[in-house]
Amino acid sequence: MCPSIRVGVASLLTAFVVTVGSVAHAKDGGPAWPEAGTDSGPSTITPGAILAYYCGDADMQCMMAPIEFEHVHDLAPWLPDWDTGWVPKNFEQLQVRFTLKIPADTEVKMGGKFRATWPSPITMATPGDRFNGFLKIDYGLIVKAEGKIDVSVLGQHITWQDPLPYVPEVDFHLLGQNQFDSWAFKPDTVTASAFTKQIRLFRINVLYLAKIPKEIAEGGVELDVRGELQATYFTEKMVIDPTVAPITTAGGETLHNFVGGPYVEVDVHPEGRIDYDGIIHLIPAFYIEVLGKDFKIPFYDYPLNITDLLNLNLASKIVFKKVRIHVPLPDIPAFEQPAIMDFGKVPVGSGEKLAIVIPNYGEAKARAVGEVEASKANIFKMLSSATMINPGQSGEMVVRFTPKKIGKYEAKLTVRSNDPDLPEQTVMLKGQALDPNDPDLPEKDAGKDTKIPEASGSSEDVQDDGGCGCRLAPHQTSTSWLGLLGLTVLGVARRRSRVQKMQRV
């Protein structure tokens, strides 16, 4: 009886060709793609996507990638111009009207990691980096003024109204910033505050603009401002699409409904809110002197409340730009069931070797480890129990059948891998030990040893003098996916001193 196997692929997966293109890569970590860190990557990656990498050389069930987000929140669309009207209302001889614009930007920067772990379902998280968050507020003030005069000087009645030209004495800005740990989920919100003492923007002689000589009369306006402002930011949710739900807490996780394949791509972005609180005080002071006589005009304080002007439901919402992550994955095809390795009839005291050839259809390195059940491990010995398999290549596990007594033997071989949706598979090992002189033993073919052939892209038939053909599955060593295009079964290559026919059962 020739040794036989039944270990195959449940269905033929479509292979694809690796091409070189422009791709964003992570800067550190263990590469999942053989050339990670260069301008190469799988052809399936979306241009501009970040290519994830293994979390470590020993952590091959975890992928990660750096993620950074930045958003500048312009409040101008939600802050209308503010008009004081003519002031002071009780002094019509000299009045000024102020119109204000408030250019206001709030900048939020955050950074962290995207992480995917498995086996299935794939769990996704976005741990934030410490001290990698930055909140900045920058509020300015643009003032337009118009003057109006209605006064009698030396028996002459003078009326005048016109815009007031001026050059601000200072560049007024409310600036505040704060550093924080990303992502600032509640209750760990972050606040940036700004405060200015009362400062003078300008002083204008309005009567002089109305062509009244300084020697006769002088009058105008001084404008002081002061302000206090704070902005509080917090992230409401981290959206990973597609997943079952967004992440809403620090250290939170979500699940990806992975159904198999060589990779997944997801879009990641945070959504948050900024709450504002603050007042800008506009403080005009008026002065007038006619022929040495002063008119005393009281100071006025016109507070501009930011929250009263804002539509907070609209102004406070922040949606960051999406970042796409390409996560390459190992993909080891399923064994056909029942999966059997039959060593056939073997004389007591000798041994037979068979090798399981395991392809990796995925885009990331695969790791596979074989283990024979403990009670039979001294009969079916793993000669090479572990294999690392690059994308588009194959690895092998060699098992030796070494019976010490006459009889039939069976054992379960468990193959564990880092395939996300198929992390464990089993193969039944079978063999029969006979007396060395038993006539049912296959004829020996001295001096010959069956080798696993080099990669040739096709199977190879070998005939010995006894006429028993042996079809061997080639060991895949090509770095291209093209070598897998013809692979329809998970091959088992046989090594022994006698070439026999390998049949599928």
Question: Smallest Cα–Cα separation from 182: which of 249, 231, 111, 286?
Answer: 111
pLDDT of 288 higher than 70 = yes
Domain match, 292 and 342 both = no
Shared-domain flag, residues 341 and 298: no
Residue 472, SS3? strand
Looking at the structure of the chain, the number of domains it has is 2
Question: What whole-number distance in Å separates Cα of residue 333 and Cα of residue 339?
Answer: 13
Which segments of 334-393 are extended strands (E)? 340-347, 352-359, 366-372, 380-384, 386-389
Decide if pLDDT at 123 tops 90.
yes
Same domain, 255 and 384: no
What per-residue confidence (pLDDT) applies to 491?
35
Tokens of 4: 């036989």
pLDDT above 70: residue 193: yes
Which of 268, 292, 321 terminates a domain? The answer is: 321
- Residue 4 included in any domain: no
Looking at residue 75, its pLDDT comes to 80
The reply to whether 108 and 218 lie within a common domain is: yes
Q: What average pLDDT does this structure show over 457-484?
A: 33
Nearest to 293 by CA among 187, 159, 153: 153
> What pLDDT digit, counting tens, does each position of 54-72 carry?
999 889 999 999 999 999 9
Does 24 fall in a domain? no
Establish if 452 belongs to a structural domain: yes
| DSSP 8-state assignment for residue 356 | E
265 has a pLDDT exceeding 50: yes
Q: Which of 252-266, 277-291, 451-465 has the lowest mean pLDDT?
A: 451-465
pLDDT band at 406 (very low <50, low <70, confident <90, very high): very high
If pLDDT is split at 50, 70 and 90, which confidence band does 461 have?
very low
Residue 44 lies in a domain: no
Are residue 413 and residue 446 in the same domain, yes or no? yes
Whether 222 has a pLDDT exceeding 50, the answer reads yes
Q: CB within 8 A of 368, min separation 6: which ones?
A: 332, 358, 386, 387, 389, 395, 397, 415, 416, 417
Question: Do 181 and 109 have their domain in common?
Answer: yes
Using DSSP, state whether 155 is helix, strand or coil. Answer: coil
Mark whether 309 and 339 lie in a shared domain. Answer: no
Task: Tell me: pLDDT of 417 over 70.
Answer: yes
Whether the pLDDT of residue 363 is over 70: the answer is: yes
Same domain, 136 and 262: yes
Q: Are residues 187 and 236 both part of a single domain?
A: yes
Same domain assignment for residues 282 and 393 = no
- Based on its alpha-carbon atoms, the radius of gyration of the chain, rounded to whole angstroms, reads 40
Lowest-pLDDT range of 320-324, 401-405, 441-445: 441-445
- Alpha helix ranges (H) inside 217-285: none
Domain that holds residue 90: 66-321
Residues 232 and 358 in one domain: no
Domain annotation covers residue 28: no
The total number of residues shown for the chain amounts to: 505
> In the prediction, which pLDDT does 128 show?
97
In a domain, residue 406? The reply is yes
334 and 317 share one domain: no
Q: What is the CATH number of the domain that holds 458?
A: 2.60.40.10
Reported pTM: 0.75
pLDDT range class, residue 32, cuts 50, 70, 90: low
Mean pLDDT of 186-211: 89
**Least confident stretch, 177-191, 197-211, 329-343:** 197-211
**Residue 332 scores a pLDDT above 60:** yes
Give the domain-ending residue among 321, 352, 377: 321
∠ CA 42-43-45, nearest 5°, is: 75
Cβ(439)–Cβ(351) below 8 Å: no
Mean pLDDT, rounded, for 459-478: 33
What average pLDDT does the segment 286-313 reach?
71
Q: How far apart are CA 217 and CA 295, in angstroms?
A: 11
Separation CA 51–CA 36 (nearest Å): 8
**Band of the pLDDT at 236, cuts 50, 70, 90?**
very high
Most confidently modeled of 16-30, 103-117, 164-178? 103-117
Q: Give the tokens for residue 432.
A: 């029969």
Task: Using the Cα atoms of residue 182, residue 186, residue 188 and residue 194 in order, give the sign of their dihedral.
Answer: positive
Write the CB contacts of 155 (distance below 8 Å, at least 6 apart in sequence).
none
Tell whether 45 is covered by a domain: no
CB-CB contact of 464 with 448 (8 Å)? yes
Nearest by Cα to 407 from 382, 377, 438, 383: 438
For residue 169, the model assigns a pLDDT of 62
> How far apart (Å, rounded) are the C-alpha atoms in residues 430 and 24?
49
Q: Is residue 236 a part of any domain in this protein?
A: yes
Last residue of a domain, one of 277, 297, 321: 321
